[in-house]
Amino acid sequence: MVTTISRVRSGSLDDPFAAHLAPPEGETAEERALRIAAAQDAEKTSRQIDEVLAQSEKLLNKKKRDVKILLLGQSESGKTSVYDFTPQYFDSERAAWRMVVLLNLIGSLRVIVDTIRTELAAPEFSLVSDIHRQCCNELAPVLREEDVLNALISPSKQLSGGEVYVRPGGEWKTILATSEVAQNTASVVVSMRDEIDTLWADAAVRELLEKKDVSLRDGGGYFMDDVMRVTAPDYVPTDSDILRARIKTMGVEEHLFEKESALGTRGVKDFWIYDVPGSRGSRAVWSVLQAIVFLTPLSFYEVLEEDNRVNRLEDSVVLWKEICANALLENCQIILFFNKMDILKAKLRSGLIIKEYVPSFAERENSYAGATGYFKEKFRAYHKRTSPKPRSFFYYETTAVDTRSTAKIIGAVHEEIFRKHLHQSILI
């Protein structure tokens, strides 16, 4: 016998939502209005969450289609200069970069003061005097601010030698731009700008630095020539200042650049640049992308900061050969940038003899053209010999702060990658 069970839907316990959707017993008009408003707020929040998730998914899908470029090079190879071809890239960060410039300035000042004090401690010293000793003592408050800023952006000293590194992302920039501690540091430096400028202008100090072969102009020392400008109370860093400013990073930085494309064209127009720290211990994070931009200054006359037994250019060559030979990167375009060529020109004008550092240079012409031609062919030969399969060799010469030439070069690089991307997608 079949038994039929009738269900009463109105107010039935068989409806699992009935009890939850029914208004509370004895609810007043005011309570009802509040309940409905709360429900509407919850629905609005839910929609916002759904929109955020949808945008995240959209960005992820877009990112898969965009061109991705890996930026490689030793620390201080000038990687930051690649970013400036995009207008407004630094505009929102100038307050933070002002503090980086001041940190660089203090670092250079410390080198000068330490050199003076070492000379004064020698049994016989002639280039500097007790007047310089007094000047160094007066500048002690400025030097102390270096540790204050370092502790602010990097609470623990990282890596060997106690060197300070900042982590990827914008947190350290926000701290430098908004922190009261950072603003106090700026005030201390500004208050002693005359003393700093006087020390740098001192002929005896300049002679001592030259005698001890202490060079500041290759890095943060550039700002010593502009003490009064960069320590002005209303100072705002220029693009060139930001490109010259130095701060070490630990980890991979990711930057999205939006490039205008012609109306009606297809394919990618935006691309990502991944900046991998140049220190030798960071190379395990390389990944396979569409292209690699490899930057190296022709600093055959210098050694690595992290290992003073290794020549800078020799290390660049080792890194270049590793990249070219890597089978996982065989489909990547590799673009070589000889960067900071203005520094090489200045070194040659000052009497630098290339074969004293690179014996294989032999009797070639000791000139800019001779140097670039020789080293270009060396890199080209390794590229051809070690690449798993044939690929084009792209080579450019750039100046560390020549934003116009960098813009043109990066534009050309992007277009070449774009064409290859479309070709592989069978779009052209």
245 is in an annotated binding site: yes
Q: Is 342 annotated as contributing to ligand binding?
A: yes
The answer to whether 380 is annotated as binding is no
Residue 37 in marked binding region: no
Vertex 257 angle, CA 251 and 260, to 5°: 170
Q: Determine whether the annotation assigns residue 246 to a binding site.
A: yes
Q: Would the annotation count 4 as a binding residue?
A: no
Q: Is residue 376 exposed (0-12), middle (13-18) or buried (19+ Cβ within 10 Å)? A: middle
The two beta strands, 291-297 and 270-275, are unpaired
340 belongs to an annotated ligand binding site? yes
User: Is 95 among the annotated ligand-binding positions?
Assistant: no
Burial 41-79 (b: 16+ CB within 10 A, else e): eeeeeeeeeeeeeeeeeeeeeeeeebbbbbbbbbbbbbb
203 has binding-site annotation: no
User: Residue 339, annotated ligand binder?
Assistant: yes
- Show binding-site residues for Mg(2+): 80, 249
Residues belonging to the binding site for GTP are: 243-249, 339-342, 400
Positions at the binding site: 80, 243-249, 339-342, 400
